[in-house]
Amino acid sequence: MFKKQPDPFYFPCQEVPLQKKDKLRYLDMTTKRQLNIASGRMNFMACCFMVFYAIIIGRLFYLTVMNYEARSFKVGGTQTNYALSRRNIMDRNGIILATSLPTVDLSVDPSLVKDDPQEVAQKIHSALPDIDTETIYNKITSNAGFKYIKRNLTPKERSAVNCLGYYFLSETKGEKRVYPQGSLVAHLLGGVDIDNIGIAGIEKAYDTELMDKDVQLSIDVSVQEMTREALSKGVEKFQAEGGLALVMDIKTGEILASVSLPDYDPNVPAGKAGKERFNQATLGTYEFGSVFKLFNTALGLESKTITVNDIFDTSKPWKIGKKSITDYRGQNRPLMVPEILIHSSNIGSAQIGLKIGWQKQKEFLGQFGFYDKLPIPLPERGTTQYLKKEPWAEMESATISYGYGISVTPLHLIAGVAALANGGLYHTPTFIKGGNEGKAETRVISEATSEKMRHMMWAVVNYELSDKSPIKTYAVGGKTGSANLIINGKYVEKRLRTTFVGAFPMNDPKYIVMVSMTDPKGIKETFGFNAAGWNAKAVGVNIIGEIAPYLGVAPVEDWKQPAYIEKAFERSLAHKKRK
């Protein structure tokens, strides 16, 4: 091998230190290309991160600032923060009566429980003290793959359970039905079961609809509250076993208030079904006594069997076969037709009924739906009771003329009396706002007969009243009725169901009120008497006095009465002076 000789013509250049900016000039093209690609990628990633964070910030701003109301709970229930399956029930003004709140349910997988089950049960009991240890132990030691420990945990309970740290306990999303108004509308709303399925009242009647939309009732919470307060005071004052009250728009059939006492709080889990959960207003059927004299009189006028000036002899009991019909505190004299209503004469009403005939009587009462369940969606609908056997005997026809022998629900009765006073048009009662819009009206009596009935109903409650009474102020007209209670299949003397139905103002009727009380007692203020005129009527007057201003009903300055009313008053006052 020869050693390479140095090139005699090569002279190396002196190395000169290069500045940083000059070094790139001497990099080969491959290196420069790689650096450019890396720089571009870094810039691209930086831009992506900036866009990503801008989107997040923008979305948060939209949700928390721009769209806050749409994501929050609103009255009307159009949107919530949670996808709740059951919608709201509201009153006619949009006030929530029933709504759902998100909750969690606690469950256990018994197969995963490896710790001492007795100790586990005791610790869970310490977090959920309302569930006894034995119940918890049975659930965590069962052979089932899944067991609910408790539904609808409160935040405090949930926190206490989480602190236990048991991996075999799990939570599932749930919802709980709540009733912000408490017992105020309990009977009408009804309730749901543990799975939020309607089991009574509006909750059951509109179970399917509530899955998709809110349901708005005809009830006015303010009218409901005033009505319940007045009835509650009346039940307490007259020591009654219970009572009911209804307020209805006389021209639409919409129910503004429906109260049944005693009642209950739907937010409290139901125990055994008792009288507190019985809706007297729609489910109970009763004999209402003398209120039915209104229908008897209206039929007599409509059929032209009688006129307002006719006179019937009530000076002595009316005998039918071996039985006699008598009057409570009778006038013992001939009475004009308006006086028969004013003094609530059984004898006079029976004579009118017999003069009409049972066929027309039965047909007429049928026009008011008194023989059938009301066509309302509520599951709590009473079955009416009446004489199905034909022909009606004279005594049967006579007793029905003054309210015995036929039992209907309070809702039947108030709708029927409303038709007598509103111009003769029957409206099916409804608990839904605008529920009768577009539905055909049924004419049951002529406008002329209805006008006569309004004047006579006014005369019934205004006879000898003080000018300061709400009855005078709002031109109230109506009728009372007292019927003996049936206990163990027999009528019991001095134990009554007392009723008052009153419409106002009778010169242009807008609303009608009904009050009925079960077994009210005579008190010192009523001189020991317990008939409807002493208690149910008094409560009804108080309700009217409360709700009329709220409903915008103006006081009636003067409503001129026809000659037959003035004549009836003169006859009654003259007889009173002679006595």
pLDDT digits (tens, 9 = 90+) for 209-218: 999 999 999 9
Give the model's pLDDT for residue 25: 52
Confidence of residue 80 (pLDDT cuts 50, 70, 90): very low
- Mean pLDDT of the 351-378 span: 96
Domain ranges of the chain: 89-131+148-217, 224-578
**pLDDT winner (highest mean) among 39-48, 155-164, 427-436, 570-579:** 427-436
243, containing H or E segment: strand 242-249
Q: What single-letter DSSP state applies at residue 17?
A: P
**H-helix segments, 408-446:** 410-421
Side chain identity, residue 511: Y
Check whether 76 has a pLDDT greater than 70. no
Q: List, for residues 436-451, the tens digit of each pLDDT value.
A: 998 988 999 999 999 9
Give the model's pLDDT for residue 56: 80
Give the model's pLDDT for residue 22: 52
Q: List, for residues 238-260, the tens digit of each pLDDT value.
A: 999 999 999 999 999 999 999 99
**pLDDT winner (highest mean) among 21-25, 50-54, 183-187:** 183-187
- Mean pLDDT of the 35-62 span: 76
Which one, of 554, 564, 466, lies nearest residue 507 by Cα?
554
Give the model's pLDDT for residue 46: 78
Coil/strand/helix, residue 426:
strand
Confidence of residue 62 (pLDDT cuts 50, 70, 90): low
Copy the structure tokens of residue 432.
Answer: 């839904």
In 130-254 the beta strands, taken as DSSP E runs, fall at: 147-150, 169-178, 191-192, 198-200, 215-216, 242-249
Helix-, strand-, coil-residue percentages of the chain, each rounded to 5: 40, 20, 40
Residue 283 CB coordination number (10 Å): 18
- Mean pLDDT of the 393-417 span: 96
Confidence of residue 52 (pLDDT cuts 50, 70, 90): confident
432, containing H or E segment: none
Mean pLDDT of the chain: 89
Check whether 542 has a pLDDT greater than 50. yes
Give the model's pLDDT for residue 173: 86
Give the model's pLDDT for residue 17: 54
Q: List, for residues 461-491, the tens digit of each pLDDT value.
A: 998 775 668 888 999 999 999 999 999 889 9
**CB 453, CB 465: distance < 8 Å:** no
Q: Is 508 exposed, middle or buried (0-12, 13-18, 19+ CB in 10 A)?
A: middle
Check whether 39 has a pLDDT greater than 80. no
Check whether 520 has a pLDDT greater than 70. yes
| DSSP result, 163-182 | TT--TTEEEEEEEEEE-TTG
For the stretch 133-137, contacts whose Cβ atoms lie closer than 8 Å and that sit 24 or more positions apart, written own/partner, are: none
Domain 224-578 has CATH 2.60.120.10: no
| Region of poorest pLDDT, from 34-43, 327-336, 404-413, 540-549 | 34-43
Coil/strand/helix, residue 297:
helix
| Region of poorest pLDDT, from 201-210, 345-354, 386-395, 448-457 | 386-395
Check whether 72 has a pLDDT greater than 90. no
Give the model's pLDDT for residue 74: 34
**CB 535, CB 520: distance < 8 Å:** yes
Q: What single-letter DSSP state applies at residue 528?
A: T
Give the model's pLDDT for residue 84: 73
Check whether 204 has a pLDDT greater than 90. yes
Q: For 437, how many CA atoms within 13 A lie in the half-sphere containing its CB? A: 5
Can you tell me the distance from the alpha carbon of 44 to that of 36, in angstroms, rounded to the nearest whole number? Answer: 12
Give the model's pLDDT for residue 526: 95
Show Cβ contacts of residue 135 under 8 Å, excluding neighbours closer than 6 positions.
none
| Region of poorest pLDDT, from 23-37, 48-62, 278-292, 498-512 | 23-37
- Mean pLDDT of the 346-350 span: 97
Side chain identity, residue 224: Q
Share of the chain above pLDDT 90, in %: 68
Cα dist from 71 to 83, 104, 278, whole Å: 11, 21, 40
Confidence of residue 199 (pLDDT cuts 50, 70, 90): very high
| Region of poorest pLDDT, from 105-109, 140-144, 277-281, 290-294 | 140-144
Residue range 89-131+148-217, CATH number? 3.90.1310.10
Can you tell me the distance from the alpha carbon of 565 to that of 452, in angstroms, rounded to the nearest whole number? Answer: 10
